[in-house]
Amino acid sequence: KGCKLVGCGSATPTLKVSNDDLAKIVDTSDEWISVRTGIRNRRVLSGKDSLTTLAVEAARKALEMAQVDPDDVDLVLMCTSTPEDLFGSAPQIQKALGCKRNPLAYDITAACSGFVLGLVSAACHIRGGGFQNVLVIGADALSRYVDWTDRGTCILFGDAAGAVLVQDLLEYNFYKLFVSFGRASCPFNCRFYTLSFILEISALDATFAKLIQLFTLPATVKKMVYLVLTCIVMVMAKGTHLNATMKENEMDKALGSNGSVLGFPPRRSSYSCIQMNGKEVFRFAVRCVPQTIESSLEKAGLPGSSIDWLLLHQANQRILDAVATRLEVPPEQVISNLANYGNTSAASIPLALDEAVRSGKVKAGHTIAAAGFGAGLTWGSAIFRW
Ligand code: ACO
């Protein structure tokens, strides 16, 4: 039983933070960041922006492209490691989209591999039967967890959301025949093209979990970091979402002492900042990503030469280049938007896909090799045809 990608969309916050902006708050330079990572700008959530709003906007665009009503969505998968609701953001997205049939909606947490895991889950649901239109959203706001005093990590991340609609095309169109006579043709010409999915999750290796993690700071250090972080980002983002950090700080003051007296376990806010061993993560990505793509291709019975586009999690341009060299994919077939957005975690693949589709780079019938990799450690790949 096959499934197809029939629409995509994306949304990014309005606040743009350049390398030069970051050079004002940490000891770095535009040259260092762009040479080592390929990143020049990133978008950061601020003001009234919320991750849920971005996710809804991206999902709406994907539905519009696919010409599918929110009412026809059977499942919403929100792939994120930074949900605004501890218990999951997918139900709120489903409600905001106005899905009247009240479809199943849940979150998937797998850091930068989240979106590929979401695709796999969507395909499994469709293949299992009973699901015809599955929205897969990748969205993250790692800016909320970045230590803005750590030049080794704060230069890397940005916030964004991307979405695709995965469809059981045969069954859905059969059903549509009975309820209507269809709609105008899709402007992106993707609706009627067959697409086959070959998905693989390579592995999950927790022995390396400490290479990227949220770490716990001693209370005094934590308070100092909150203070510095709040000042910096309030200046940069004009009094924005890190107001929440200030509130957390106040909450800490209010609850922290009681908690420790009563011996409560660490509170949510003890997860302060992202800590990463960049060099080891780099080595892991360059080793594992080509392997997983090669085995996905083998499973699909496709030669490497059949790849039209290499669409990797946008972590670092040097990782993209190294993986492409290993797979013998020429640079002009590597999709990259790192320069504008940095590493947007679970959003990076659908965001880059959406830009490539809307700019006309990715055309109907093209074969795309996608791979996600990141904290966990997790990694996985999917070969699909647009
Ligand atoms: N500006 C200037 N100098 C810097 C900066 C900076 N922003 N960051 C580090 N440096 C310095 C270091 O202090 C070090 O100085 P020293 O030699 O005096 O000690 C020097 O530059 C080299 O530092 P390295 O960490 O060795 O730099 P490296 O070349 O490894 O680049 C980087 C660091 C960009 C983080 C790289 O390792 C990388 O991109 N790794 C992959 C990260 C990644 O892809 N993560 C994806 C997963 S994220 C997730 O899943 C949530």
**With 70 as the cut, is the pLDDT of residue 203 above it?**
no
Q: What is the pTM of this model?
A: 0.82
125 flagged as catalytic: no
pLDDT for the residue numbered 239: 38
Complete edge-to-edge strand list for the sheet that includes strand 75-79: 4-11, 159-167, 133-141, 75-79, 104-108
- Of the two residues 188 and 113, the one the predictor is more confident about is 113
99 flagged as catalytic: no
Q: Is 345 in the pocket of ligand 1 (CB under 6 A)?
A: yes
Q: Is 110 in the pocket of ligand 1 (CB under 6 A)?
A: no
Same domain, 27 and 126: yes
Same domain, 29 and 162: yes
Ligand 1 atom closest to the CA of 281, numbered from 1: 41
Work out how many domains the chain is built from and give that number.
3
273 flagged as catalytic: no
Same domain, 245 and 106: no
- Of the two residues 192 and 19, the one the predictor is more confident about is 19
Q: What is the per-residue pLDDT across 275-308, written as a single tens digit (0 to 9) for each?
A: 888 888 889 899 989 988 998 888 878 888 989 9
For range 307-336, the mean pLDDT: 97
- Say how many Å lie between the CA of residue 152 and the centre of ligand 1: 5
Three-state SS letters, the chain: CCCEEEEEEEECCCEEEEHHHHHCCCCCCHHHHHHHHCCCEEEECCCCCCHHHHHHHHHHHHHHHHCCCHHHCCEEEEECCCCCCCCCCHHHHHHHHCCCCCCEEEEECCHHHHHHHHHHHHHHHHHHCCCCEEEEEEEEEHHHCCCCCCCCCCCCECEEEEEEEEECHHHHHHHHHHHCCCCCCCCCCCCCCCCCEEEEEEEECHHHHHHEEEEECCHHHHHHHHHHHHHHHHHHHCCCCCHHHHHHHHHHHHHHHHHHHHCCCCCHHHEEEEEECHHHHHHHHHHHHHHHHHHHHHHHCCCHHHCCEEEECCCCHHHHHHHHHHHCCCHHHECCCHHHHCECHHHHHHHHHHHHHHCCCCCCCCEEEEEEEECCCEEEEEEEEC
- Say how many Å lie between the CA of residue 379 and the centre of ligand 1: 21
Same domain, 307 and 183: no
334 within some domain: no
Tokens of 169: 């095309």
For range 355-380, the mean pLDDT: 91
322 within some domain: yes
Q: Which of 249, 316, 337, 343 is catalytic?
A: 343
153 neighbors 277 (Cβ within 8 angstroms) = no
pLDDT for the residue numbered 86: 87
Same domain, 290 and 367: yes
Same domain, 167 and 18: yes
**With 70 as the cut, is the pLDDT of residue 263 above it?**
no
Tokens of 91: 């139900």
CATH no. for residue 290?
Answer: 3.40.47.10
Q: Which of 313, 337, 340, 366 is catalytic?
A: 313
Q: Is 193 in the pocket of ligand 1 (CB under 6 A)?
A: no
Same domain, 305 and 222: no
Same domain, 116 and 74: yes
The boundaries of the domain holding residue 17 are 4-192
Output the average pLDDT for the chain.
80
Same domain, 179 and 271: no
337 within some domain: no
Same domain, 142 and 34: yes
193: buried, middle or exposed (CB in 10 Å: 19+, 13-18, 0-12)?
Answer: middle
Ligand 1, pocket-test mutation among 212, 282, 286, 287, most atoms within 8 A of CB = 282
Same domain, 287 and 232: no
Atom 28, ligand 1: which residue's CA is nearest? 279
What confidence category does residue 227 fall into, taking pLDDT thresholds of 50, 70 and 90? low
149 within some domain: yes
Same domain, 95 and 241: no
**With 60 as the cut, is the pLDDT of residue 104 above it?**
yes
